[in-house]
Chains A and B, each alone.
Chain A
Amino acid sequence: MAKYSMVVDLDLCQGCRACTEACKIENNTGSGIFWMHVFRFEEGEYPETKMSFLPRPCQHCDNAPCVKVCPVGARFKREDGLVLTDFDRCIGCRYCELACPYGVNYFTWQSPEKSHYQDVVDWEDDDLALVTGGLVPPYKNPDLDLKYGEEQRYTAGGNHAKGVIEKCTFCVQRVEKGMNPACVETCPVNALIFGDTDSPDSPISHYLRVRQPWRLLEEAGTHPRVMYVGGKPPNPSLKEIERPKAEV
């Protein structure tokens, strides 16, 4: 069985946030919700300052605190390493959100339609199909509404619903088709590498043989499946120079 992991190469990341955007479009997340967030840090005092970046997807921990505290098993860990939310099971207690030391969970505070991408055209329209060839934007991808995994549960990003929790799924709808998550696919400098760490021939395994990875908040004992190479772990002296202004 494949074991999926992600490597984030901080030496390559330039903080462009294309991953953030790709994630939003792929998973149709609402306003103010960032399954993939990129920290932009500043260090030191002007003029001796240095900028650094830190992409923060869900860490898909092997010892996930969110899974432990979920009262109904809506947050669960798959055999292939993915930590997912069953949108049909979640009762909306937000315990996972507080158990997670990385702040990757988002509650759906209102009906998702109110803060999602609004269609200005009817994609089903026959005339439009002559131009688009029947293609729809990623956020209308029907794959998002399917059940996934041997458990057959509603876990993909299309299942947003008012009153439940959501977070990065590693784009389960793409991974199950053998594709990379949208953020990985979009990164212009290949700073994100995704793949099966159990397979010695996969690019990610190759990467990990060459570079020594570290993990975010290793001391929390969560054993994340997201690994970082280059850069350095964040510390409280780092200042986040901007924070998303979007509101739900």
Chain B
Amino acid sequence: MRRTITVTLVVAGLALMVIGMLAAAPWGAESVADGDPTFTGAPILFVLGIGSVIGAALLYELLPDRFE
């Protein structure tokens, strides 16, 4: 359980970071005038991703024994 939660958080975090990074860049924007992230707030995904990976470390250590 503990391992599953941690691995999930790490994988999800890394995925969020990649998605956040890609979404923060204006890929596929049709116009040079459109230099903004693909959607407003995309960088928040990146931040959540980092938080998820760091949070995984915290949870792995802090979760009580019953989560084995």
Q: A contacts B directly in the complex (CB < 8 Å)?
A: yes
A residues apposed to B, CB below 8 Å: 67, 73, 76-79, 149-151
> Contact between B33 and A78 (Cβ–Cβ < 8 Å)?
yes
Bound-state Cα–Cα, A79 to B37, Å = 17
B1 contacts the other chain (CB 8 A): no
Q: Of all chain A residues, which has the CB nearest B32? A: A77
Bound-state Cα–Cα, A77 to B37, Å = 14
The 7 closest A-B pairs by CB, nearest first: A79-B33, A78-B33, A76-B35, A77-B32, A73-B35, A73-B36, A79-B31
> Contact between B35 and A149 (Cβ–Cβ < 8 Å)?
no
Bound-state Cα–Cα, A79 to B29, Å = 12
Q: CB-CB < 8 A to A149: which residues of B?
A: 33
In this complex, the interface size class of chain B, counting residues with CB under 8 Å from chain A, is under 10
Q: Of all chain A residues, which has the CB nearest B36? A: A73
User: Which label, helix, strand, loop or mixed, suits the secondary structure of the A interface?
Assistant: loop
9 CB-based A-B contacts, threshold 8 Å:
A73-B35, A73-B36, A77-B33, A77-B35, A78-B33, A79-B32, A149-B33, A150-B33, A151-B33
Bound-state Cα–Cα, A154 to B32, Å = 18
Segment 22-43 of B: residues with Cβ below 8 Å from A:
31-37
Q: CB-CB < 8 A to A151: which residues of B?
A: 33-34
Write the nearest CB–CB distance from A197 to chain B, whole angstroms. Answer: 16
A-B contact sample (16 more), CB < 8 A, given A73-B35, A77-B32: A67-B35, A73-B36, A73-B37, A76-B33, A76-B35, A77-B33, A77-B35, A78-B32, A78-B33, A79-B31, A79-B32, A79-B33, A149-B33, A150-B33, A151-B33, A151-B34
Q: CB-CB < 8 A to B31: which residues of A?
A: 79
Q: Of all chain B residues, which has the CB nearest A81? A: B32
Write the nearest CB–CB distance from A87 to chain B, whole angstroms. Answer: 16
Bound-state Cα–Cα, A76 to B33, Å = 7
Q: CB-CB < 8 A to A77: which residues of B?
A: 32-33, 35
Q: Of all chain B residues, which has the CB nearest A64? A: B32
Q: Of all chain A residues, which has the CB nearest B26? A: A73
Q: CB-CB < 8 A to A73: which residues of B?
A: 35-37
Bound-state Cα–Cα, A73 to B31, Å = 14
Bound-state Cα–Cα, A158 to B43, Å = 30
Q: Of all chain A residues, which has the CB nearest B43? A: A72
Q: Of all chain B residues, which has the CB nearest A89? A: B36
Q: Of all chain A residues, which has the CB nearest B30? A: A79
Q: CB-CB < 8 A to B36: which residues of A?
A: 73
Bound-state Cα–Cα, A78 to B33, Å = 4
Bound-state Cα–Cα, A149 to B33, Å = 9
Write the nearest CB–CB distance from B1 to chain A, whole angstroms. Answer: 41
